[in-house]
Amino acid sequence: MSIDEFIYAFIAKEENYQDSDSIIKEGTSGDWVYVVLEGKVKVKKMTSKGLLVIDTLKEGDIFGEMILWQSGKGARTASVVADGAVKVGVLDTGFLLKEYERLSPRLKDLMRSLIKRLGEATQKVVTLAVESN
């Protein structure tokens, strides 16, 4: 998937990572939002039975966006680790939040609800995976 041009307008800087490097660490604070520019990353969650891979993201995928809809300073809900050499774009969170604030109240509701449900569904997968192992 190619990266749409409008995404580039939001990239504040680019970062390179080597295989297995940690990009986001679960539980830490941080408000950057990222986009995968080259390569792949793995999304992992800590469970009672160790680290569980919950998703693999590729070029064009955004991660860390949950932070946008957490009021105040939220902690990262998952870890993101490089799967091979990766180049990511770091998006300007302030700029993104401004765009979000410009949305109509209904679209704001819709976005917030969507992201929240994604977070809950992910948590559910983790619980189920741990139980069934």
> Site residues for other proteins, window 55-74 (CB under 8 A)?
55, 61-62, 65
52 interacts with other proteins by CB under 8 A: no
Terminal CA-to-CA distance of the chain, rounded, Å? 34
Least distance (Å) between residue 96 CB and other proteins: 7
115 interacts with other proteins by CB under 8 A: yes
Q: DSSP string covering 33-78, please?
A: EEEEEEEEEEEEEEETTEEEEEEEE-TT-EESGGGGGSSSSPBPSS
> Site residues for other proteins, window 8-27 (CB under 8 A)?
9-10
- Radius of gyration, alpha carbons of the chain: 15
Name the one residue in this structure whose structure tokens are 């302030």: 94
Span interacting with other proteins, options 18-26, 44-52, 75-83, 108-116, rule CB under 8 A: 108-116
Among 6, 48, 72, 73, binds other proteins (CB under 8 A): 6
